[in-house]
């Protein structure tokens, strides 16, 4: 368990007027590999904390095990570097006990989509008011190049040297298929402005906000997103007033598709990539019951009737 620095723990009147800056949220120097996409995700997240002026002592980052799960060590908020695959149950406990806290969950693809898959499904169904970031690089990086559930079929690794045998799981489709799903988005670490807006939208969503971040691992999956990084024509941006719009990308990213995030059927269709990497908000629904609210309410919410 990591704690904010002592100077950040006091919550007297002086803190109410305090303006938090990105420097206030930064902690130890991040020790991911040079060029690792995790660095960009950390910076985008710090920007969101600053934009929303989240007090560090009211904010918690929970992670599992993996490269990205070092996240809590690099932030001066509360943090819980948990157990492999168990970030979501830990975060659920935090949120149920302290619904006043801002809870973020950081998981890798091995963490969330393999050993943690059961928790992922039920966290989506419980629809607790928190943000879940899936940093998906298609490999177990910390354990040095093992096939993960999102590794592309045929990709060689130390555990499957002749190539991944099975086709990869689709985290977007899987999440969109769960009862009570309320927010699903996808972004890429090479588009920091889009990533920032997406994490911000996720934080502002009331309910369980699942964000898949396509994350580059220059050590073991160098080529995974390289085509899309070099050729904006391989990317399609989902745009809508209720989604994420980034005007600074308009000139370069010409492939744009109007998609109303309220349309679940369309979201499920678009989750199948069809040769393109689609980025944006696939689905958003704030009318669904949020578990940390409904469990304190004796009657059924109107959405359940
Ligand atoms: Fe990042 Fe890959 Fe290095 Fe892990 S092994 S820190 S995911 S570049």
Question: pLDDT class for 298, splitting at 50, 70, 90?
Answer: low
Query: In whole angstroms, how far apart are CA 300 and each of 65, 127, 207?
Result: 37, 15, 17
Average pLDDT of the chain, as a whole number: 93
Q: Is the dihedral of CA 173, 290, 245, 34 positive or negative?
A: negative
CA of 146 to the centre of ligand 1 (A): 12
Atom of ligand 1 nearest to the CA of 68: 7
pTM of the full structure: 0.93
Q: What are phi and psi of 37, to 5 degrees?
A: -65, -20
| Closest-lying ligand 1 atom to the alpha carbon of residue 141 | 5
Band (pLDDT 50/70/90 cuts) for residue 17 is confident
User: What is the structure's pLDDT at 11?
Assistant: 47
Residue 109 confidence (pLDDT) above 60: yes
What average pLDDT score do residues 205-213 get?
98
Indicate which residue's Cα is closest to atom 1 of ligand 1.
36
- The DSSP string of 86-125 is -HHHHHHHHHHH-TTSEEEEEEEHHIIIIITHHHHHHHHH
* Mean pLDDT score, 71-94: 97
Q: 193: CA distance to ligand 1 center in Å? A: 22
Q: Nearest C-alpha to atom 7 of ligand 1 is from which residue?
A: 217
Q: How far is the CA of 219 from the centre of ligand 1 (A)?
A: 6
pLDDT digits (tens, 9 = 90+) for 110-144: 999 999 999 999 999 999 999 999 999 999 999 99
Q: Can you list the alpha helix ranges (DSSP code H) found in 53-191?
A: 87-97, 109-110, 117-126, 171-176
What confidence tier does 13 reach under pLDDT thresholds 50, 70, 90? very low
Confidence of residue 305 (pLDDT cuts 50, 70, 90): very low
Atom of ligand 1 nearest to the CA of 108: 7
- Mean pLDDT lowest among 93-97, 152-156, 167-171, 297-301: 297-301
Give nearest CA residue, ligand 1 atom 3: 33
Q: Ligand 1 centre and the CA of 161: distance in Å?
A: 19
Q: Is the Cβ–Cβ distance between 36 and 218 less than 8 Å?
A: yes
Closest CA to 24 of 2, 10, 7: 7
What spacing in Å lies between the alpha carbon of 117 and ligand 1's midpoint? 22
pLDDT at 133: 98
| Nearest atom in ligand 1 to 66's CA | 4
> What would the pLDDT profile of 245-282 be if each residue is shown by its tens digit?
999 999 999 999 999 999 999 999 999 988 899 999 99
Cβ proximity of 127 and 95 under 8 Å: no
pLDDT at 292: 81
Q: At what angle do helices 117-126 and 87-97 cross, to 10 degrees?
A: 30
Using CB distances shorter than 6 Å, the residues near ligand 1 are 32-33, 36, 38, 67, 137, 141, 217-220
CA 157–ligand 1 middle distance (angstroms): 15
């Amino acid at each position: 368990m990591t704690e904010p620095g002592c100077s950040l723990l006091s919550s007297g009147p002086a803190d109410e007027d305090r303006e938090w800056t990105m420097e206030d949220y930064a902690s130890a120097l991040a020790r991911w590999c040079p060029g690792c996409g995790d660095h960009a995700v950390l910076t985008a997240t710090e920007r969101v904390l600053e934009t929303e002026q989240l007090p560090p002592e009211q904010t918690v980052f929970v992670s599992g095990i993996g490269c990205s799960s070092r996240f809590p060590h690099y932030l001066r908020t509360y943090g819980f570097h948990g157990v492999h695959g168990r970030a979501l149950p830990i975060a659920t406990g935090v949120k149920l006990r302290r619904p006043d806290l801002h809870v973020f969950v950081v998981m890798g693809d091995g963490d969330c989509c393999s050993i943690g898959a059961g928790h992922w499904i039920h966290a989506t169904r419980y629809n607790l008011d928190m943000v879940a970031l899936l940093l998906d690089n298609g490999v177990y990086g910390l354990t040095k190049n093992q096939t993960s559930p999102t590794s592309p079929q045929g990709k060689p690794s130390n555990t499957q040297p002749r190539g991944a045998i099975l086709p990869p799981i689709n985290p977007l489709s899987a999440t969109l298929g769960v009862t009570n799903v309320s927010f699903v988005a996808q972004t890429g670490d090479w588009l920091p402005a889009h990533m920032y807006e997406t994490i911000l939208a996720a934080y502002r969503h009331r309910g369980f906000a699942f964000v898949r971040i396509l994350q580059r691992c220059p050590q073991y999956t160098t080529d995974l997103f390289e085509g899309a990084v070099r050729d904006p024509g391989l990317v399609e941006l989902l745009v809508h007033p209720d989604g994420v719009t980034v005007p600074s990308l308009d000139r370069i990213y010409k492939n744009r598709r109007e998609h109303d995030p309220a349309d679940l059927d369309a979201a499920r269709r678009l989750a199948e990539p069809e040769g393109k990497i689609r980025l944006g908000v696939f689905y958003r629904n704030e009318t669904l019951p949020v578990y940390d609210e409904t469990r304190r309410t004796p009657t059924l919410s109107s959405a359940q009737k």
